[in-house]
Each structure stands twice: as C-alpha cells, then as structure tokens.
Structure 1
Amino acid sequence: MPTSALSVERVLTDARSAVVPALRAAVNGLSAPMRRLAEYHFGWSDQQGAHIEDTGKGARPTLTLLACEAVGGEFEQAVPAAVAIELVHNASLLHDDVLDRDRLRRHRPAIWAVAGVPEAILLGDALFFLGVRTLAEAPAPLASTGVKWLVTAAQRLVEGEHADLTLEERDDFSLAEVTAMAHAKSGVLLAEACAIGALAGGADADRIDHLRAYGAHLGQAGQLTDDLLGIWGDPAVTGKPRLADLQARKKSLPVAAALTADNAAARELADLYRGPSDPGQLQRVADLVEAAGGRAWAVEEARRHARTALEHLRAAVPASRAAEALTLLAHRVADRTR
C-alpha cells in the first residue's frame, strides 16, 4: 500500500483485493442452494443468479489485515482471519435483518424478504460455522487462540442482539445498559477483528490489547454514527427508509440518551414512544430526540470514541503505513457525524 495519496477508498480496495478471492473460495464450499443465497447476500449476484460487481466496503476484514500489518506482519498472514471475521459478521447481519424485519440490506431486498425467514436463518448459521471452520484450518495460533476469541465475540454479539430485543419492550432502562448492548452488537466483533489480526502478525499481548481497544472504540463510534444516520441520514446513502428506527421504536443510542434526559422534550418523547407507532408523528419524534439532547450527545460521543481509538492506536506503536490507514478509518467514522 503506498504511503502517498492514501485514501479510505484505496485502503478498502487494497484489503478487498486480498480478502475477496479467499472469501469466495470459502463460500464455494457450501452446498449449491446455500452458495446461491450467499452470493446474492454478498452482492456477487442478482436475484436471478447473474453475476454483478460487488461494491461492499468490508471494514472488518480491512481492520484485520491492517492490524496484522501494524505489528510487522503481512496481509497474507491474516487473510484466513479476515475471511472468518467477514463470514461471522454477515451471519449476524442475516439474523439481525430477520429479527428487525428490515427488508433492505445494502440498498436491495434482504435475504429473508427474497427467500423467506427459514432460508435467512439457515444461511446465517452456515456462514457462522464456515467462519469458525476457516479459522480452525489456519495455522496456529489462529486455529487455537484465534478461534476462541472469535467464538467468544460471536457469543457476546448474540447476547447483544437479545438485549436489544428485550430493551424494545422496556421503559425502565439506563443509558449505560443501551451503551453496553450497542458495544456487544458492534464493538466486540470489531475489537476482535483487530486483535486476531494482530495475533496473526505475531504481536505481544500489550500491542494486541491496544489494537483490540482501538477496534472496540472505533466500533462504538461507528454504532453511534449509524444510529445518527438511522434518524437523520439520507436513505440514498444508508439504504434504509428514513426514520425507520423510530418507526420500529428502537432504543438506539441517540434515542436512549434523549429518553433518559431530564427535560420536557424527553418526557414528551417518552409518551410518544410508549404509544403505537404513527408514521405521521415520526418527524415530531425525531425533533424531540434532538430537542432532548440525544443528537448532540451521540455526535460528541462518536467523536470521543474515535479520539480514544487513536490514542490506543498510537500506544500500539504501529508500522507507519498501517498507522496512516487506521488513522484515516477513524477520521472517516468521526467525519460521518457532520
């Protein structure tokens, strides 16, 4: 990766060129019906099975490769880990779409909306086990310590999904609970993406811990940003209907911050959130989230987590090229809050 004219797009493209062939090879090991569903989900084919050009970002495998490079390793050493992380992440997306009844994924119909709920659940299961198998077949320590870290992260992700579902039915919750749920759903897998990449590169425990913390804080910043875009973002960019999270009465981070505030806007918001979802009131709900302070809090928290991520990155003493790329990714997350 060149040190000049480095951009986030170039970082992602370079990582994808290293990961996608191995990811396709792993998916080719599935049965034909599962493989066809996976190819559609990953954006490699349309609903009729015709080949299309995938334009996905692949942030998690990119972090895995860069973490390996940051501690002196080569991309190739971390490719099995990057593939495993991407498979587990996509397994969680398939299940998450079913749980949330989100009909769109990456600007087109989600698997469950195309092929049905059972197919989406089974494909998610298949990708999860394929991810574990991919890492288990890699050289040590990925096949031992790496598998343990990946499975533990997946377990915490499931716990985060469950917490998300139960919070939807509760009026008595704290902002700390919602923050912990968001970290389990998104931050943990990003943290392990970095940790396992550093493990592949032969890093010592201290550098692994700092890169894991970088990923955790980047994940929390990213979740805050996604939650902000879920309310105030452009559907052409997010790929989801405007205000969809509010219509679903999600306890996203800006909403949770607003609902737990002590002001008149928070109390009015709480009354509306307890009632049935009315599409005609969604803009009013969004305005109340902002008036109660939820938007400003989430923006500042996202930027704080991005800054903390960079502090841990510096403490890991990364190689210069990887340091530049990982810094760019953190700045990109913070800039999306603008």
Structure 2
Amino acid sequence: MSPDARIAVDAMGGDEGLAVMLAGVALARRRFDDMRFLLVGDEARIREGLAAHPNLTAASEIVHAPDVIRGDDKPSQAIRRAKTTSMGVAIDLVKQGRAAAAVSSGNTGALMAMSKLSLRMLPGIDRPALAAMLPSLGDTDTVMLDLGANTECDARNLVQFAVMGAAWARTTLDLESPRVALLNIGTEALKGTDEVREAAAALKAATHLPMTFSGFIEGDRISRGNVDVVVCDGFSGNIALKTAEGTARFVGDLLKRAFRSSVRSKIGFLISKPATQLLRDHLDPNNHNGAVFLGLNGLVVKSHGGATELGVAHAIGVAAKMVRDDLLNRIKDDLAHFDEQATA
C-alpha cells in the first residue's frame, strides 16, 4: 500500500459491536504495519475505545458519524440516511478518494445498495457481484461469485463475473492464470440453461485472458480444489454457500456428539485433538472472512456480522491486498482485452 492509502472502517457495524471492530483493526495493524485507517462512527465512543489499543493512535483518524444502520433496516431506508450513518460515510470516503477501500460488518443489503448508488459501476460492468473465499482441499481457497447480489443473470453477466473473479484470484491468491469454471447441473456440454452454455462458449473463446477456462463444475466439486474460481448466478450461489456452511456446522455437531457418547470416545477425542483442531481452523469462517462487491468503481469489503476480531482483521487484510494490487485497474484491463477479442 502507498503511504497515503487509508482504509475506511465502519466501526459501528456488526453484531458484536465497537469493541470487536476496534480489536480487529488493531490486530490488522499489528499484522500490516503500513496500514492507515479512517475509523467511522460515534467519535466519543471510538476515542474511548482506542484507549485499549494505543498502537492505533498514530495510524488512525476518527471520522464522526452520528447514526448507525441497523440489521433490520431496509436498503431503501438506509439510502435515505446514508449521509449520517457510519456505513454511508465510510462508503462516501471512498467516493471522495480519502479512502482506498471501505470495510463494514453491517447490513449486507444496505451496504450493497449504498455502495452501488454512491460508487456506481466500473465501465463495461453491468452488475456488481458478491464474491468470497471458500475453504477447499487445494493449496489455496476457492473464489466463488455471485453469492446473492443478483438472483437472475444472463450470459454477459456470467462472463463479467468470471473476468472479475479471475482478477481477484490473481491478486488475493497470487495466481498467474486462475482456473475458472461455471457452476452447472452437470459437466457435459449440453447441460444447463441457455445462459450458462452461452457464457461457457464465450469464455472458451477468450484465449488471451489471464485465466484458464475449465468448463462446468457441479456443486459437490466446489471444495475439491480442482478450480480456483466458481461462477454462478446469485440465487444458485447463495444456496450453495448456505448449504456448505450448514454442512460444516452439521459435521462439527456430529463430531461433538460422537466424542461425548462414551468414555472410549472421549479418550479418542484427546488422541485426535490436534486433527480436530486443524479441521476446526480450516472451516472457521473467521479465517475466510471478507466478501467483496466486485464491479463497483471503488473497493468495498463486507465482513460477516458475527465475525470475531480475527475475522475483522482478515476482512481488512482482504481490502488492503486489493488496494496494494490495484484490483480495479486489473479488472478494467482484463475486460477491455475480452471485449477486443470478442469484436475482432
């Protein structure tokens, strides 16, 4: 990050409150000592909270915002209050150029609506997509998008999502040519909707982009690590994400029940504790926290509302890496190359 690059943090958003948000920012500061922050929210409360984190004093500036977006606020209500809320002010700091990215743990629908209205779309992008990292059996996590921003998508939207997802994978996962696949009900060429098949044809023909198109992927293969980017419409993506999260919790609960079932099982738990801890860490959403609204003319990261300080720090790290690697210009360049090839 450049010395003057700052990340705006909605300090009042999230289920766990200001204390967890500040602890997360402090942890991110210890990990990345070149980070600078604009802490947005109630100035008196933030200043009081900073007393517990002296390492942030020289690296942060408080931007007062008297109001907060609640979890049950509708996006239309949030937009009308954008200028006075911590979430809205954080986004506006990106628009003004005072911040290179914004991070919030608040209401997802409100964050998307306000970000889209304030920042607008990148040239050549029709719709934003919500992208996140999912744990996999591969050497790196797997990028998946869209995870709920668009319930219906045409082939053009899916192609744009693929270009943006691949650009994010190149920066965040340090991959030169990410393997990209379209989520489908089968891997055969004739399977799926017209939109999915048309998008596949366009991506297969795009041979000069810094990505490798791997065709179709089924839902049970998402976490195998065979591809780096999984592309789908927001309806399918959100269902796949929630199913994966629910399955992880189900497996965890089954293990707890099994280990408590008998004395022998409890002894077995003690023996296998290192392995179960490794599993817990791998599936912990805080270690993968930080969804991104790709396609906006500005960088906005959504932290999970219930994230711990570790999760908040991870989300801030995602924002910092996108700033450092100039993600917006990478997306613009890749899309321009795709359009040039498509019209050639």
With the length of structure 1 as denominator, give the TM-score of the two structures.
0.28
By relative contact order (CA 8 Å, sep 6+), the higher-ranking structure is 2
Higher share in strand: 2
Larger radius of gyration: 2
Higher share in helix: 1
